[in-house]
Amino acid sequence: MQRITSKDNEFIKHIKKLKDKKYRDEAGEYIIEGIKLIEEAIQENAQIKQIVICEENEKTNVISKSLMYEISKYDCVYVTQKVFNTITQVTTPQGIFAVASKGDTLGTEEKVSLSPSLEDFPNQKMNIDYKEDIIVALDDIQDPGNLGTILRTVDSCGLKQLLVSKGTVDCYNPKVVRSTMGAIFRVKVIECEDLVKTIKEIKRHHFKLQVTALDGDKTIYDVNYKKKIIVVGNEANGVSKAIQDLADEKVKIPMLGKTESLNASVAAGVVLYEYTRQKLQQ
CA distances from residue 83 to 12, 95, 210, 228 in whole angstroms, order as listed: 8, 11, 49, 49
109 band by pLDDT with thresholds 50, 70 and 90:
low
Domain containing residue 264: 109-281
**63 and 194 within one domain:** no
pLDDT at 86 exceeding the cut of 50: yes
**121 and 80 within one domain:** no
- Lowest-pLDDT range, 48-62, 186-200, 234-248? 48-62
Question: pLDDT at position 125, please?
Answer: 45
CATH of the domain at 214: 3.40.1280.10
pLDDT at 140 exceeding the cut of 80: yes
216 band by pLDDT with thresholds 50, 70 and 90:
confident
pLDDT at 20 exceeding the cut of 70: yes
Task: Give the length of the chain.
Answer: 282
Picking from 50, 70, 101, the residue at the C-terminal end of a domain is 101
Question: pLDDT at position 262, please?
Answer: 86
The alpha carbons of the chain give a radius of gyration, in whole angstroms, of 21
Question: pLDDT at position 116, please?
Answer: 38
pLDDT at 133 exceeding the cut of 60: yes
**136 and 21 within one domain:** no
The DSSP result for 225-272, as a single string, is -SSEEEEE-BTTTBS-HHHHTT-SEEEE---SSS-----HHHHHHHHH
Give the tens place of pLDDT for each residue, 149-193: 999 999 999 999 999 999 999 999 999 999 999 999 999 999 999
**228 and 125 within one domain:** yes
Picking from 101, 117, 134, the residue at the C-terminal end of a domain is 101
By the 8 A CB rule, do 271 and 153 touch?
no
**142 and 83 within one domain:** no
Compute the average pLDDT of residues 42-58.
91
* Cα separation, 197 vs 116, whole angstroms: 9
* Cα separation, 140 vs 142, whole angstroms: 6
* Cα separation, 97 vs 87, whole angstroms: 10
124 band by pLDDT with thresholds 50, 70 and 90:
very low
204 band by pLDDT with thresholds 50, 70 and 90:
very high
**151 and 37 within one domain:** no
pLDDT at 105 exceeding the cut of 70: no
Q: Give me the sheet containing 218-219, strands edge to edge.
A: 109-112, 188-192, 161-165, 134-138, 228-232, 208-212, 249-252, 218-219
User: Dihedral of CA 170/172/176/182: which sign?
Assistant: positive
* Cα separation, 8 vs 15, whole angstroms: 11
**132 and 57 within one domain:** no
62 band by pLDDT with thresholds 50, 70 and 90:
confident
pLDDT at 64 exceeding the cut of 80: yes
| Percent helix, percent strand, percent coil in the chain, to nearest 5 | 35, 20, 45
**134 and 62 within one domain:** no
Closest CA to 52 of 119, 1, 126: 1
pLDDT at 233 exceeding the cut of 60: yes
CATH of the domain at 30: 3.30.1330.30
Question: pLDDT at position 169, please?
Answer: 95
**91 and 18 within one domain:** yes
**241 and 139 within one domain:** yes
Picking from 48, 72, 101, the residue at the C-terminal end of a domain is 101
Average pLDDT of the residues of the chain: 89
Question: pLDDT at position 103, please?
Answer: 67
Q: Number of folded domains in the chain?
A: 2
In sequence order, the 6+-apart residues with CB closer than 8 A to the CB of 23 are 17
**170 and 213 within one domain:** yes
Largest interatomic CA distance in the chain: 64
**89 and 141 within one domain:** no
| Region label for 125, one of left (φ > 0), alpha (ψ between -120 and 50) or beta (otherwise) | beta
Q: Identify the three-state secondary structure at position 203.
A: helix
> CB atoms < 10 A from the CB of 7, how many?
16
CA distances from residue 193 to 97, 196, 198, 229, 275 in whole angstroms, order as listed: 31, 9, 8, 17, 27
